[in-house]
Amino acid sequence: MSSRFDTPAGAAKRPQPSFYNLVWRWHFYAGLFVIPFFILLSLTGLIYLFKPQLDDLMYADLLQVPVAGQRLAADQQLARVREAYPQAVIKQYLPPTAADRSAQFVITEQGHDLNLFLDPYRGAVLGTQDALWNLQAVARKLHGDLLIGTAGDRLIELAAGWGIVLVVSGLYLWWPRGRSGAGILWPRLSARGRLWWRDMHAVTGFWGSAILLLMLMTGMTWTGFWGAQFAAVWNRFPDAMWNDVPKSGQLTGSLNNSARQTVAWAVETAPLPASDAHAAHQGHGDHQGHGAHSQPAATGSAAALLQHVVDTAEARGVQPGYSITLPKGEQGVYTVALFASDPRNDATLHLDQYSGEVLADVRWDDYGPVAKAVESGVMIHEGRMFGLPNQLLMAAICLLILFSSISGLVLWWKRRPAGQLGVPPLRHDLPRWKTAIGVMLALGVVFPLVGASLLLVWGLDWLLGLWRRQSVPSAPVA
């Protein structure tokens, strides 16, 4: 049977070039870099996925309270915290989410951030928790920046970008090419040894590939380099929304950090308004009938507006689960933020700390199409969009990623020559496949850090091949 690679009689045969071989090589490089990150991200993701259940299990004494009559006003709760921690800086207030739930404050005491839990009926401090070194905060920071800040964020971004290379190359290697479903859509459980591991690696990788791509892309939107550029281009609000709003010069995203999510991704690029420090001296401190709380922040009593902020949030239909970030400095504002499981309920309100006036109120309807898509994807990513079924689906994907990563390592270990790294060999006569080059260039342009690292790996691979060819002794001439 002839083929398009047949050669005329007497002509020297050239081996058939293999694009599959090239893809396999890049799949190997991507896996070598990505697998340790995938294992870490899957484990920390599993912990963060089940945050509500784990919190209730581990911190029931801090989160749950017996219901008793009427709650203390938010201002009274704050006063109790100040009595217990007179030197502390109060950063945030999280009202109870249900009748049997505690109130929470985030405070800084002697340089340490603490989560403080308060019985909202009796005013008793139930206890504190290190805000940065509890299970969920550590899992979130490991997931976001490996606990090493900007350098870790860039490594996570690189891993996510190379993860996309891994998925694309893996799908090419998996493609059936006329084979039956066994070993493609389901594993051959009767197989043994390397074939069994190959089937498990390919099949789990295929079934998890679509949601893995969703997770990688939504995760990329939170990264400090690519994510920031993406948000700057696609996440904009009409200038008219802020024409009459005094601005602080900061962005709303400054309220977020790697250990705690305060505002939604969609509002991170929105301006952070500023309070009018002169309003308190010009008779504008009555904030619509709440004159008892009208003293300026400079005297330390602006926090008496806290109950007014709670009332405003409830009057405007903000659902339970929101946080209130207290003003910082004379121009600081109160920020009510609900980063909702259903992003259609997202809310971000900024209130003047002196007058209590609402300076900005941003909701789902104000988001652009890309912001809405990203917010929905992020909620699926975090297992929050559809409740327990969403958690279980994402947990299954995390387990698939773990198994695919481990099976990939086993396959490499079984096929590598003893004492060698086992890089798949690349033939020197492989042509310049336009498709492969096009895919790599596209990924490098869309994800600049990945593009830079691709060029670096390509260069090192070329030098390694050159060194190997030069180190092979020439055959003696007869």
Angle, helices 51-58/19-49, rounded to nearest 10 degrees: 40
Give dist(CA 400, CA 438) in Å, integer.
29
Give exposure, 44-82, as e/b (b: 16+ Cβ within 10 Å): bbbbbbbbeeeeeeebeebbebeeeeebbbbbebbbbbb
Helices (H) and strands (E) in the chain — how many of each? 13, 10
Query: How does DSSP classify residue 214?
Result: H
Region 379-398 average pLDDT: 95
Which pLDDT does position 470 carry in this prediction?
79
Which pLDDT does position 275 carry in this prediction?
95
Residue ranges and CATH numbers for the domains of the chain are 25-33+143-222+391-467 (no CATH), 52-140 (3.10.450.40), 237-381 (no CATH)
10 Å Cβ neighbour count for 344? 12
pLDDT in tens, 70-92: 999 999 999 999 999 999 999 99
Whole-prediction pTM value? 0.84
Return all residues near 210 (Cβ < 8 A) that are at least 6 apart: none
Region 278-302 average pLDDT: 44
Q: Would you say residue 297 has pLDDT above 50?
A: no
Which pLDDT does position 1 carry in this prediction?
44
> What average pLDDT does the chain have?
85
Q: How big is the chain, counted in residues?
A: 478
10 Å Cβ neighbour count for 262? 21
Res. 64 pLDDT band, cuts 50 70 90: very high
pLDDT in tens, 115-172: 999 999 999 999 999 999 999 999 999 999 999 999 999 999 999 999 988 888 888 8
E-assigned strand segments in 153-280: 247-251, 271-273
